[in-house]
């Protein structure tokens, strides 16, 4: 079937893929803050009729995200209805909250400066109903305030498609069964059941429920509260880190799954498709199965542009869309623990399962080719202070410590990562998100005609900026001075060791909630926990935290 081309002649389409990040969502949030600022500045200059402004348009028609990326994508989608003034400079005082900016308020402020105390609170553990190792009630509070928008007139953002699509990856614990027919000598075993745990929840910005196009994309309007609660639940569910954070239940109409083409392999192969009416799922972190859903973002772009031939959308001379992925933890070789201890094998096994489930063989070869135009990546890079050494990937961000949970320890870690995200995005748009100066691509050739192009040329590759940046380059440091007097934050060993009692209390409460013990068993367990177990567990966690912080240069020995 031929894909209809619904693109506009002078418009370039930018699909956002926001990868999972745990507490490093602060980095992605900072990058999105700067992206919105740049697009808003360009739109304002065009609407005023300023001179020397490129005439082409860049429009975001789709945002896809996993885990922390999905949560940030939902905030980005809500920006269609609410103003989000950029946070260009760190607050004064440094730890002051910034409720006017949902990116900053959701990922840096959270609900407390010290989130470890919040997550170790035991108020969620009662009546043997433990659902997660950490208290995650704060996530609901953040989602509620982040995705609630004002009832006034919507902000006009021409760069956000009025029918912008937003989707979340989910890991469906029950899974969806379908079968493959086999010819067998056993009459009752002629079908091979396959269970898919890869799930998606898809939305399209709309004005009313009647805008549904029977394609699986659920009408969404935050301002009118149209399926806004469902989107909020999806944003929370995609970030439900297995075991650590509690799983989330989602109920949607089964018809949405029947209509979505992404589920065709299941709905067409199944004996019966999903029934109309409530379809309930229990979900954990979407990043566990699909942490970087850039292939799905590309699929949406193809539907819009009609450019289904890679030779078209991977060429700078003909492409009219691209995927921009923001990934705080880009793929890097990990450290493998080569021993047979149970704890090591458990960790290695979980890592192997997750890594294997994320493989996308149809896109790996293309993704490794830096000369192709169909995908771009914003990832952390931090320039060394007074040295030529640069830090890349997880070692560039403070939240990269403790397997991505480091940002919960110290608000200054999150502040650092937010402003690094802003700085990296600015550098990317100025110097890397470009097309050749001599391009014959009609979008950019016309967009840059009859203006002085020199101010929009990259210092890195001499290319023309796809999103023009009007502000001057700054030589000043982009990072504030932290409490340690440096531009790279740190915590003290005393601060980390101070969590020991709260950890012991949480471990003790977790033990009591694992099963319905008799009074005698509880008494014995309490004695054992007090004498041996919870103290050793707490000490082990603290030792691992100190080791990780030290590895990342985040520990002050005093």
How far from 539 is each of 174, 292, 498, CA to CA, in Å?
A: 36, 35, 11
Instruction: Give CA–CA dist 14/161, Å, rounded.
Output: 10
Inter-residue contact 106 to 146 (CB < 8 Å): yes
Inter-residue contact 200 to 296 (CB < 8 Å): yes
Instruction: Give CA–CA dist 298/465, Å, rounded.
Output: 21
Tokens of 510: 């977790």
Inter-residue contact 296 to 364 (CB < 8 Å): no
67 is catalytic: yes
- Strand spans (E) along 72-159: none
Instruction: Give CA–CA dist 264/331, Å, rounded.
Output: 30
How far from 86 is each of 148, 367, 494, 550, CA to CA, in Å?
A: 18, 31, 35, 33
Instruction: Give CA–CA dist 417/423, Å, rounded.
Output: 10
What backbone phi and psi angles, to 5 degrees, belong to 454? -60, -30
Inter-residue contact 31 to 422 (CB < 8 Å): yes
Q: Is the peptide bond before 93 cis (omega within 30 degrees of 0)?
A: yes
Length of the chain: 558
Tokens of 212: 């549904």
C-beta atoms surrounding 502 within 10 Å: 16
- Select from 489, 332, 270, 465 the least CA-distant residue to 399: 489
- Strand spans (E) along 141-275: 160-181, 191-205, 218-220, 248-253
- From the list 82, 285, 303, 327, the catalytic residue is 285
- Strand spans (E) along 141-234: 160-181, 191-205, 218-220
Inter-residue contact 59 to 11 (CB < 8 Å): yes
Strand partners, 281: 250
Tokens of 32: 């999105």
First vs last Cα of the chain: how many Å apart?
A: 67
C-beta atoms surrounding 465 within 10 Å: 22
Inter-residue contact 29 to 73 (CB < 8 Å): no
- From the list 67, 78, 458, 509, the catalytic residue is 67
- In the DSSP assignment, the letter for residue 333 is P
What backbone phi and psi angles, to 5 degrees, belong to 16? -100, 130
547 is catalytic: no
SS3 assignment, position 386? coil
Inter-residue contact 463 to 505 (CB < 8 Å): no
Task: Give the residue numbers marked as catalytic.
Answer: 67, 285
């Amino acid at each position: 079937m031929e894909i209809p081309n619904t693109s506009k002649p002078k418009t370039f389409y930018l699909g956002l893929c926001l990868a999972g990040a745990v507490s490093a969502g602060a980095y992605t949030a900072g990058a999105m803050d700067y992206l919105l600022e740049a697009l808003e500045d360009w739109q304002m200059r065009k609407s005023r009729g300023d001179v020397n402004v490129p005439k082409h348009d860049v429009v975001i028609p789709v945002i896809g995200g996993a885990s922390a990326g999905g949560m940030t994508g939902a905030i980005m989608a809500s920006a269609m209805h609410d103003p989000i003034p950029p946070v260009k400079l760190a607050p004064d005082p440094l730890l002051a909250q910034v409720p006017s900016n949902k990116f900053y308020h959701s990922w840096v402020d959270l609900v407390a400066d010290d989130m470890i105390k919040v997550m170790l609170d035991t108020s969620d553990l009662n009546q043997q109903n433990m659902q997660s190792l950490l208290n995650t009630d704060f996530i609901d509070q953040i989602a509620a305030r982040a995705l609630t928008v004002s009832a006034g007139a919507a902000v006009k953002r021409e760069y956000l498609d009025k029918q912008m699509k937003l989707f979340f990856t989910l890991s469906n614990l029950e899974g969806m069964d379908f079968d493959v027919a086999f010819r067998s000598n056993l009459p009752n075993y002629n079908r091979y059941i396959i269970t898919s745990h890869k799930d998606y929840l898809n939305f399209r910005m709309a004005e009313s429920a009647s805008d549904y196009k029977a394609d699986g994309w659920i009408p969404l309007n935050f301002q009118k509260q149209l399926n806004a609660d469902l989107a909020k639940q999806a944003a929370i569910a995609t970030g439900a880190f297995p075991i650590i954070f509690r799983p989330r239940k989602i109920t949607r109409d089964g018809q949405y799954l029947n209509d979505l083409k992404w589920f065709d392999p299941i709905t067409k192969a199944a004996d019966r498709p999903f029934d109309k009416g409530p379809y309930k799922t229990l979900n954990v972190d979407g990043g566990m199965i699909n942490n970087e859903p850039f292939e799905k973002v590309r699929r949406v772009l193809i539907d819009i542009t009609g450019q289904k031939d890679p030779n078209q959308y991977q060429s700078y001379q003909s492409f009219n869309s691209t995927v921009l992925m923001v990934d705080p933890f880009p793929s890097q070789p990990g450290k493998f623990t080569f021993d047979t201890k149970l704890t090591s094998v458990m960790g290695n096994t979980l890592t192997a399962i997750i890594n294997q489930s994320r493989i996308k063989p149809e896109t790996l070869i293309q993704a490794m080719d830096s000369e192709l135009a169909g995908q771009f990546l914003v990832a952390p890079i931090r320039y060394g202070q007074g040295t030529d050494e640069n830090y890349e990937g997880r070692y560039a961000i403070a939240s990269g410590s403790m397997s991505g949970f480091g940002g919960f320890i110290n608000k200054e870690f999150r502040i650092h990562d937010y402003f690094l995200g802003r700085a990296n995005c600015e550098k990317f748009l100025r110097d890397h998100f470009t097309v050749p100066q001599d391009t014959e691509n009609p979008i950019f050739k016309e967009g840059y005609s009859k203006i002085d192009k020199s101010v929009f040329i990259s210092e890195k590759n001499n290319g023309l900026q796809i999103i023009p940046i009007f502000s001057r380059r700054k030589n000043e440091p982009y990072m504030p001075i932290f409490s340690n007097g440096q531009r790279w934050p740190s915590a003290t060993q005393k601060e980390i060791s101070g969590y020991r009692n709260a950890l012991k209390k949480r471990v003790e409460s977790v033990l009591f909630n694992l099963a319905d013990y008799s009074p005698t068993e509880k008494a014995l367990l309490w004695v054992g926990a007090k004498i041996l177990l919870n103290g050793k567990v707490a000490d082990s966690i603290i030792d691992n935290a100190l080791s990780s912080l030290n590895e990342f240069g985040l520990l002050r020995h005093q």
